[in-house]
Amino acid sequence: MLTAALISLSPVLTSAMMMIVTLEELVKESEVIAIGHVLARNDASTEGRGDTVLFQPDAVLKGKDLAGRGELPLCNPSGNSEWPDLGKIRGEYLVFLVTKNTCFPLAHGYRAVVRTSNGQAATGAIEGEPKKQSVERFLRTIRLLVKKQG
Protein backbone atom coordinates (compact mmCIF):
# COMPACT_ATOMS: atom_id res chain seq x y z
CA MET A 1 0.00 0.00 0.00
CA LEU A 2 2.70 2.47 0.98
CA THR A 3 4.72 1.62 -2.14
CA ALA A 4 1.69 2.21 -4.36
CA ALA A 5 1.06 5.56 -2.67
CA LEU A 6 4.65 6.65 -3.19
CA ILE A 7 4.61 5.56 -6.84
CA SER A 8 1.42 7.56 -7.46
CA LEU A 9 3.07 10.63 -5.92
CA SER A 10 6.32 10.31 -7.86
CA PRO A 11 5.28 12.59 -10.79
CA VAL A 12 4.28 15.29 -8.29
CA LEU A 13 7.53 14.94 -6.34
CA THR A 14 9.61 14.93 -9.53
CA SER A 15 7.88 18.08 -10.77
CA ALA A 16 8.46 19.85 -7.45
CA MET A 17 12.09 18.74 -7.34
CA MET A 18 12.68 20.04 -10.88
CA MET A 19 11.81 23.52 -9.70
CA ILE A 20 14.45 23.45 -6.95
CA VAL A 21 17.79 24.60 -8.30
CA THR A 22 21.03 25.88 -6.83
CA LEU A 23 23.06 28.65 -8.42
CA GLU A 24 25.76 26.17 -9.41
CA GLU A 25 23.16 23.97 -11.17
CA LEU A 26 21.56 26.98 -12.84
CA VAL A 27 24.92 28.18 -14.18
CA LYS A 28 25.74 24.68 -15.42
CA GLU A 29 22.34 24.23 -17.17
CA SER A 30 22.46 27.64 -18.83
CA GLU A 31 24.06 28.18 -22.21
CA VAL A 32 23.69 31.97 -22.01
CA ILE A 33 23.65 34.16 -18.88
CA ALA A 34 23.05 37.87 -19.40
CA ILE A 35 22.06 40.97 -17.46
CA GLY A 36 19.94 43.61 -19.15
CA HIS A 37 16.34 44.61 -19.81
CA VAL A 38 13.33 43.71 -21.96
CA LEU A 39 12.90 45.99 -24.97
CA ALA A 40 9.65 44.90 -26.59
CA ARG A 41 7.27 42.09 -27.27
CA ASN A 42 7.42 40.50 -30.74
CA ASP A 43 3.94 39.15 -31.52
CA ALA A 44 5.12 37.55 -34.76
CA SER A 45 6.66 34.58 -32.96
CA THR A 46 7.32 31.40 -34.90
CA GLU A 47 7.24 29.33 -31.72
CA GLY A 48 3.46 28.99 -31.80
CA ARG A 49 3.08 29.23 -28.01
CA GLY A 50 2.79 32.83 -27.01
CA ASP A 51 5.31 35.20 -28.46
CA THR A 52 8.89 36.28 -28.09
CA VAL A 53 10.29 39.21 -26.16
CA LEU A 54 13.39 41.15 -27.16
CA PHE A 55 16.04 41.40 -24.43
CA GLN A 56 18.90 43.90 -24.58
CA PRO A 57 21.89 42.56 -22.65
CA ASP A 58 24.14 45.07 -20.94
CA ALA A 59 26.61 42.25 -20.25
CA VAL A 60 26.85 38.57 -21.18
CA LEU A 61 28.46 36.44 -18.48
CA LYS A 62 28.27 33.11 -20.32
CA GLY A 63 27.70 32.17 -23.95
CA LYS A 64 28.90 35.34 -25.69
CA ASP A 65 29.34 33.38 -28.93
CA LEU A 66 25.71 32.16 -28.77
CA ALA A 67 24.29 35.52 -27.72
CA GLY A 68 26.06 37.45 -30.45
CA ARG A 69 25.86 41.20 -30.32
CA GLY A 70 22.63 43.03 -29.76
CA GLU A 71 19.13 41.92 -28.86
CA LEU A 72 18.25 38.39 -27.77
CA PRO A 73 14.82 36.97 -28.68
CA LEU A 74 13.52 35.29 -25.51
CA CYS A 75 10.83 32.60 -25.77
CA ASN A 76 7.80 33.70 -23.80
CA PRO A 77 5.52 30.76 -22.91
CA SER A 78 2.92 33.00 -21.26
CA GLY A 79 0.37 30.19 -20.87
CA ASN A 80 2.58 28.26 -18.42
CA SER A 81 2.20 29.15 -14.73
CA GLU A 82 5.77 27.98 -13.99
CA TRP A 83 7.18 30.63 -16.36
CA PRO A 84 6.87 34.39 -15.97
CA ASP A 85 5.30 36.46 -18.75
CA LEU A 86 8.49 38.19 -19.89
CA GLY A 87 6.49 40.75 -21.84
CA LYS A 88 5.27 42.22 -18.55
CA ILE A 89 8.58 42.60 -16.74
CA ARG A 90 10.22 46.01 -16.53
CA GLY A 91 13.60 47.08 -15.26
CA GLU A 92 16.90 45.24 -15.15
CA TYR A 93 17.09 41.45 -14.86
CA LEU A 94 19.67 38.72 -15.00
CA VAL A 95 18.47 35.81 -17.15
CA PHE A 96 19.69 32.21 -17.40
CA LEU A 97 18.94 30.83 -20.86
CA VAL A 98 19.24 27.77 -23.06
CA THR A 99 19.14 27.72 -26.85
CA LYS A 100 16.19 26.62 -28.98
CA ASN A 101 15.50 27.18 -32.68
CA THR A 102 14.65 30.87 -33.06
CA CYS A 103 14.55 32.06 -29.44
CA PHE A 104 16.13 31.53 -26.02
CA PRO A 105 13.90 29.89 -23.38
CA LEU A 106 14.56 30.32 -19.66
CA ALA A 107 16.75 27.57 -18.24
CA HIS A 108 14.60 26.95 -15.15
CA GLY A 109 11.27 28.80 -15.03
CA TYR A 110 10.90 31.61 -12.51
CA ARG A 111 14.28 30.80 -10.97
CA ALA A 112 16.02 31.76 -14.23
CA VAL A 113 14.92 35.40 -13.99
CA VAL A 114 16.53 37.48 -11.23
CA ARG A 115 15.35 41.05 -10.70
CA THR A 116 18.09 43.60 -10.00
CA SER A 117 17.29 47.00 -8.54
CA ASN A 118 19.21 49.59 -6.52
CA GLY A 119 22.34 47.44 -6.53
CA GLN A 120 20.48 44.41 -5.12
CA ALA A 121 19.63 41.07 -6.76
CA ALA A 122 16.46 39.26 -5.64
CA THR A 123 17.96 35.76 -5.39
CA GLY A 124 15.60 34.13 -2.88
CA ALA A 125 14.06 31.76 -5.47
CA ILE A 126 17.43 30.07 -5.98
CA GLU A 127 18.12 27.26 -3.48
CA GLY A 128 20.80 28.20 -0.94
CA GLU A 129 20.94 31.88 -1.90
CA PRO A 130 19.85 34.76 0.37
CA LYS A 131 16.61 36.59 -0.34
CA LYS A 132 18.67 39.56 -1.57
CA GLN A 133 22.35 40.18 -2.18
CA SER A 134 24.42 42.82 -3.89
CA VAL A 135 24.41 42.59 -7.68
CA GLU A 136 28.19 42.94 -7.65
CA ARG A 137 28.60 39.92 -5.34
CA PHE A 138 26.07 37.86 -7.31
CA LEU A 139 27.76 38.59 -10.66
CA ARG A 140 31.18 37.81 -9.16
CA THR A 141 29.88 34.43 -7.92
CA ILE A 142 28.38 33.63 -11.34
CA ARG A 143 31.64 34.55 -13.11
CA LEU A 144 33.59 32.27 -10.75
CA LEU A 145 31.16 29.40 -11.39
CA VAL A 146 31.35 29.91 -15.17
CA LYS A 147 35.14 29.89 -14.99
CA LYS A 148 35.15 26.80 -12.74
CA GLN A 149 32.79 24.91 -15.04
CA GLY A 150 34.72 26.22 -18.08
State residue 43's pLDDT score.
53
Q: Which parts of the chain have pLDDT scores under 70?
A: 1-18, 40-50, 78-81
Q: How far apart are CA 89 and CA 64, in angstroms?
A: 23
State residue 52's pLDDT score.
86
Domain 21-149 sits in CATH 3.40.50.2020: no
Q: How far apart are CA 144 and CA 141, in angstroms?
A: 5
Q: How far apart are CA 3 and CA 24, in angstroms?
A: 33
pLDDT digits (tens, 9 = 90+) for 30-59: 999 999 999 865 554 444 445 788 999 999
State residue 79's pLDDT score.
67
Q: Are 34 and 61 in contact (CB under 8 A)?
A: yes
pTM: 0.81
State residue 2's pLDDT score.
42
State residue 76's pLDDT score.
85
- List the domain boundaries for the chain: 21-149
Q: Are 23 and 125 in contact (CB under 8 A)?
A: no
State residue 70's pLDDT score.
86
